[in-house]
A and B are shown apart, each in its own frame.
Chain A
Amino acid sequence: MRRVSIDSEPGFSLAELLVTIVIVGVTFTALLGGLMTSTSVSSLHRKQAAADAVARSAAEWVKDSVANPYFPCATTYSFSSFPANGFLVSIPVGGVENWNPAPAGPVAAPYTPGFETSQPGCSDHGLQRITIVVRSSDSQVSETVQVIKRVVS
């Protein structure tokens, strides 16, 4: 059996080990940083996608003439029984706008309807523009969607 002389390799293994530890340390730090960033970004994207889905549901909820019948000069619509899946869904103050003024006679094309903030007792012409805000409970994600609701005659 061949004998290995320790004296023939003075300090090389230690130097290699130190360099390796430094490189691996730096690499692991970068890896952990990347993983943490990836996790937080993934979480953010998941919330954004969920908020988008809730915003669409809320928009359909508001437009639904059965769940939310058109209310002339409404200043808000209720989301009390809306399944918000942990998100905060609301219509901000002034978020319901009425079509006003409506034309008295034939309009010239192209016609652009004007909207003004809805108030009780206003002149209602069967059309409202409603702004819905969906916010995550930690306020990290916020989505806004506008819908136009028409009275069903």
Chain B
Amino acid sequence: MRLHEEDGQALVLALGFLIFVGLVVGAMLTLAYANELSTQRLGDQRNTVYAADGATDAAIQLGLVDATVGRYGDGRCQATLPSSALPPTPILLTTTSNNTAANVVCTWSSDALNVDRSVTFTTFVASQPTPVVQAAVIYHFHLSGPMTVEVTSWTYCTHGPSC
């Protein structure tokens, strides 16, 4: 083998190495971008859940202060559970927390003769067409003492059973 046939081999090797390193760095950058996206989505999901939780809690408390919320035939609520299509109307309550707006719709008690109110609150977050949280509560009326509320279920609609 003659040595002058190896002319430029080092350059070829260096270029090959350069391409390899370029691919490795590209893969690392892709991974970093995926991490960044994942972190951002995690934060968005947290804001959505806490905004929906907060709005639902606010609606439950409103039902204690305003004893007409969810009463049989209440015009601010619906007779049946809302469908997933937006906009659900009428909206009982709207709040903003974590820079996320949440809307709560309710279903009124089906038993007109019962002094206790069984109300379901379904919370939508502005950016999502499907409900996020659904809570079923019973407001207990007491002849002596203030009204109390019993939360019978609290469902995260995107995890487990649908709402």
For chain A, the count of residues having a C-beta within 8 Å of the partner chain is 51
Are A112 and B61 in touch, CB under 8 angstroms?
Answer: no
Are A145 and B28 in touch, CB under 8 angstroms?
Answer: no
Binds B, one of A26-34, A73-81, A84-92: A26-34
Contacts of B75 in A (CB 8 A): 109
Contact with A along B38-70 (1 / 0, CB 8 A): 110011001100100111011011101110110
A126's contact among B8, B32, B61, B76, by CB below 8 Å, is which?
Answer: B61
Are A41 and B32 in touch, CB under 8 angstroms?
Answer: yes
Are B50 and A126 in touch, CB under 8 angstroms?
Answer: no
Q: Is A106's beta carbon under 8 Å from chain B?
A: yes
Are A148 and B92 in touch, CB under 8 angstroms?
Answer: no
Nearest chain B residue, comparing its CB with the CB of A8: B4
Within the complex, what minimum Cβ distance (angstroms) separates B154 from chain A?
Answer: 12
Contact with A along B73-93 (1 / 0, CB 8 A): 001100000000000001111
Are B103 and A129 in touch, CB under 8 angstroms?
Answer: no
Are B39 and A48 in touch, CB under 8 angstroms?
Answer: yes
Contacts of A27 in B (CB 8 A): 14, 17-18, 21
Contacts of B64 in A (CB 8 A): 126, 153
Are B93 and A150 in touch, CB under 8 angstroms?
Answer: no
B54's contact among A19, A129, A153, by CB below 8 Å, is which?
Answer: A129
Contacts of B39 in A (CB 8 A): 45, 48-49, 52
Q: Taking A45-B35, A112-B94, A127-B57 as contacts, is the C-beta distance between A107 and B62 under 8 angstroms?
A: yes
Q: Is A16's beta carbon under 8 Å from chain B?
A: yes
Contacts of A133 in B (CB 8 A): none
The answer for the CA separation of A110 and B98 in the assembled complex, in Å, is 20
The answer for the CA separation of A147 and B21 in the assembled complex, in Å, is 47
Contacts of A20 in B (CB 8 A): 10-11, 13-14
Contacts of B66 in A (CB 8 A): 103, 105-107
Are B62 and A111 in touch, CB under 8 angstroms?
Answer: yes
Nearest chain A residue, comparing its CB with the CB of B28: A38
Contacts of A45 in B (CB 8 A): 32, 35-36, 39
Contact with A along B84-118 (1 / 0, CB 8 A): 00000011111101100001000000000000000
Nearest chain B residue, comparing its CB with the CB of A26: B18
Q: Which of B54, B64, B95 has the most CB of A within 10 A?
A: B54
Are A16 and B25 in touch, CB under 8 angstroms?
Answer: no
Q: Is A96's beta carbon under 8 Å from chain B?
A: no
The answer for the CA separation of A87 and B16 in the assembled complex, in Å, is 45
Are B92 and A110 in touch, CB under 8 angstroms?
Answer: yes
Contacts of A127 in B (CB 8 A): 57-58, 61
Are A145 and B98 in touch, CB under 8 angstroms?
Answer: yes
Are A49 and B95 in touch, CB under 8 angstroms?
Answer: no
Q: Taking A24-B17, A31-B21 as contacts, is the C-beta distance between A4 and B3 under 8 angstroms?
A: yes
Are B25 and A52 in touch, CB under 8 angstroms?
Answer: no
Query: Can you show 7 pairs from A to B with CB atoms below 8 A apart?
Result: A19-B10, A20-B13, A102-B65, A110-B94, A112-B94, A146-B97, A148-B55
